[in-house]
Amino acid sequence: MAKILLVLYPDPTTGYPPPYARDSLPVVTSYPNGQTLPTPSAIDFAPGELLGCVSGELGLRPWLEAEGHTLVVTSDKDGESSRFEQELSDADVVISQPFWPAYLSPERMAKAPKLKLAITAGIGSDHVDLATAIDRGVTVAEVTYSNSIGVAEHTVMQVLALVRDFIPQHQIVANGGWNIADAVHRSYDLEGMDVGVFAAGRIGRAVIERLSPFGVRLNYTDRHRLPLEVEERYGLTFHDDIRSLVRDVDVLTVHAPLTDETRGLLSDELLGTMRRGSYIVNPARGAIADRDAIVRAVENGQLAGYAGDVWFPQPAPADHPWRTMPHNGMTPHTSGSSLPSQARYAAGTREILESWFAGTPIRPEYLIVEGGRYSGTGAHSYASRPPAPRAAT
């Protein structure tokens, strides 16, 4: 029997369960690329419930305990005295979410000799030191595509909020005001702008598809160039690298994984090559941006605004400058944790666990590391290799 250590964000401050705004979720039967939704043998929750917090437990406890496994759930994850550190020494499986990541550093994995499986309930496994996981033979898996569309929708919302300067306009109303000149002096139309998408995987491509009807000129870069038919359908201009891309756009959206190549990429130097008054929306990973370079660029007007859903570390400290810098539209990593997304990544987490317990293959699209090497999605997204040739269709 296994010990599963599950790290989730704290319950609502008003108590659990919270009042829900709707009684049901829309029915989604497949992902846009035809991939099936998670297919566990059963679920022990009602879709639409808040599953990602401590009391939600991803709906896993009844099943795991019925099978004789031990489930430990905590939100206390940081520091040597944390519950996470105390329980790690004999854990077989660690599960956490990108929104409240339990960082599995080399030092922490050295304290976990029994650890065999690390699961991301969601997408993005950079909170796990993947090189160490490879060395130690730890399997790393995530629920690919479970919240990609939610993140893409959030991205489009933040693009519009920045360009239209929505947040200050709403605040004027909330404060009892009605000064239209104050409300519109930084408000622009998205129509006609050049938009750049950095990394056109599942999320980036969904952003392209959703922004196309706005009458923008779409640009992108990715080490895996999209098929010619897709480029022609959306009028896409391909750039060989991020440096070429940022020079030619008014709005940049960021969807790349955090790797040695992308860490700190949004630097003073790169930002200085962008058009004055550009906007950046980064729902990928906070560490892709140089924290202080972003602040400087917003304060000196090089950037007209910065929004995103990701910080480093997470949760961000109270004095993180992105909380208070001007013209920001930051959110606390909520884009991929909508209630429909939670239902999918909770079901996907159970599917991964069922496969692992049964000794059957985990879906390749869920795999990041397996058998001491990058595998599945990990081989596509994280492993260093030259860009693949573009397919004709």
Q: For the chain, what are the domain ranges?
A: 3-147+337-374, 148-323
H/E run at residue 49:
none
pLDDT on residue 381: 82
147 in active site: yes
Burial track 150-185 (b if 16+ CB lie within 10 A, e otherwise): bbbebbbbbbbbbbebbeebeeeeeeeeeeeeebee
Assigned superfamily of 148-323? NAD(P)-binding Rossmann-like Domain (3.40.50.720)
Identify the active-site residue in 219, 302, 314, 328: 314
pLDDT tens per residue across span 307-329: 999 999 989 999 999 999 999 99
Strand intervals (E) in 157-282: 194-198, 217-221, 237-238, 251-254, 278-282
Q: Give the three-state DSSP class for 52.
A: coil
pLDDT surpassing 50 at residue 389: no
Work out the pLDDT band at 33, boundaries 50, 70, 90.
confident
Check if 285 is active-site: yes
- Answer yes or no: 333 catalytic: yes
pLDDT for res 390: 43
Among candidate residues 97, 147, 302, 342, the one labeled active-site is: 147
Query: Average of pLDDT values for 205-210?
Result: 98
Mean pLDDT of 128-153: 97
Q: Is the pLDDT of residue 66 over 70?
A: yes
Per annotation, catalytic residue among 202, 225, 285, 350: 285
**Per-chain mean pLDDT for the chain:** 95
Length of the chain equals 393
Catalytic residue among 291, 333, 344, 363: 333
Query: What pLDDT score does 384 carry?
Result: 54
Would the CATH topology of 3-147+337-374 be identical to that of 148-323? yes
User: Phi and psi (nearest 5°) for 188?
Assistant: -130, 165
| Residue-wise pLDDT tens digits, 239-274 | 999 999 999 999 999 999 999 999 999 999 999 999
Q: Does 388 score more than 90 pLDDT?
A: no
How much is the pTM? 0.93
In this structure, CATH architecture of domain 3-147+337-374? 3-Layer(aba) Sandwich (3.40)
Q: What is the pLDDT of residue 47?
A: 96
